[in-house]
């Protein structure tokens, strides 16, 4: 895999329709990686991130600034690729820790026990994690790439707005007092500052 020279390079984040037309280049993103703001009803986006030599991986969902009632985030079909090119389904792994903005972490189902779905497209496997939230996985440097399809659960309709961040630093989560239901609350943004690793030779 081509190694990234700049550890601050943002991932190339593409839609599923683009992936169908173009071959995805290798090593298209390094930590930290963030999507654009995604709203309810938006098509899923696919994220590829280089996680070579990463020990701690945080999958973060931000609070978009409006009411967080419908920030029903999905990390769909999350995969880790190890150094032998073996693909590992992350839904078979136990997060080392997690925090959600509402409800509980759901694996391969939504909060009502139904199937995961983004913009009307079924998602076979994944994590349903209401934002703002993070999932922490201990990788111990065993993997080289992370990939997933991300978006807001179809059940939210056109409501909800989040960003998805992949980082190796534990994020600072907003407190309940910072939320302003039904209105703008920019102070409640999730802060995810990266802990930069030394680039490989």
pLDDT average, residue stretch 87-115: 95
Residue 75 and residue 153 in contact, taking contact as beta carbons nearer than 8 Å:
no
Question: Looking at the domain assignment, is residue 21 inside a domain?
Answer: yes
If one counts the domains in the chain, the total is 1
Question: Looking at the domain assignment, is residue 5 inside a domain?
Answer: no
Position 20 scores a pLDDT of 29
The tens digit of pLDDT for each residue in 131-185 reads 999 999 999 999 999 999 999 999 999 999 999 999 999 988 766 556 544 444 3
Enumerate the β-bridge partners of residue 39: 161
Inform me whether the pLDDT recorded for 82 exceeds 90: yes
Look at 174 and 73; give whichever has higher pLDDT: 73
Inform me whether the pLDDT recorded for 10 exceeds 50: no
Q: What is the pTM of this model?
A: 0.75
Question: Looking at the domain assignment, is residue 201 inside a domain?
Answer: no
Question: Looking at the domain assignment, is residue 122 inside a domain?
Answer: yes
Inform me whether the pLDDT recorded for 94 exceeds 90: yes
* Mean pLDDT lowest among 30-34, 52-56, 196-200: 196-200
Inform me whether the pLDDT recorded for 196 exceeds 60: no
Look at 130 and 30; give whichever has higher pLDDT: 130
Question: Looking at the domain assignment, is residue 110 inside a domain?
Answer: yes
* Mean pLDDT lowest among 45-49, 139-143, 156-160, 187-191: 187-191
> Residue 21 belongs to what H/E stretch?
helix 16-21
Question: Looking at the domain assignment, is residue 156 inside a domain?
Answer: yes
Residue 101: pLDDT band (50, 70, 90) is confident
Mean pLDDT for the chain?
A: 77
| Residue 186: half-sphere exposure toward Cβ, Cα within 13 Å | 0
Question: Looking at the domain assignment, is residue 191 inside a domain?
Answer: no
The tens digit of pLDDT for each residue in 120-132 reads 999 999 999 999 9
Residue 50 and residue 1 in contact, taking contact as beta carbons nearer than 8 Å:
yes
Position 23 scores a pLDDT of 35
Position 28 scores a pLDDT of 42
Question: Looking at the domain assignment, is residue 73 inside a domain?
Answer: yes
What range defines the domain where residue 99 resides?
14-182
Inform me whether the pLDDT recorded for 197 exceeds 80: no
| 143 Cβ contact list (under 8 Å, min separation 6) | 51, 52, 54, 80, 81, 82, 83, 88
Position 173 scores a pLDDT of 77
């Amino acid at each position: 895999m081509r190694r990234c020279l700049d550890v601050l390079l943002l991932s190339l984040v593409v839609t599923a329709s683009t992936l169908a037309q173009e071959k995805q280049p290798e090593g298209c993103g390094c930590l930290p990686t963030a999507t654009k703001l995604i709203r309810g009803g938006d098509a899923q986006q696919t994220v590829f991130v280089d996680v070579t030599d990463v020990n701690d991986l945080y999958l973060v969902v931000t609070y978009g600034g409006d009411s967080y009632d419908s920030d029903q985030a999905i990390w769909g079909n999350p995969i880790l690729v190890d150094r032998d090119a073996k693909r590992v389904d992350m839904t078979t792994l136990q997060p080392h820790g997690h925090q959600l903005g509402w409800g509980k972490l759901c694996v391969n189902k939504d909060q009502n026990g139904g199937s995961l779905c983004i913009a009307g497209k079924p998602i076979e496997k994944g994590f349903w994690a209401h934002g703002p939230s993070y999932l922490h996985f201990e990788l111990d440097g065993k993997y080289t790439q992370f990939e997933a399809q991300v978006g807001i659960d179809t059940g939210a309709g056109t409501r909800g707005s989040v960003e998805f961040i992949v980082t190796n630093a534990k994020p600072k989560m907003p407190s309940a007092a910072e939320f302003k239901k039904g209105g703008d609350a920019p102070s409640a943004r999730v802060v995810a500052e990266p802990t930069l690793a030394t680039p490989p030779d």
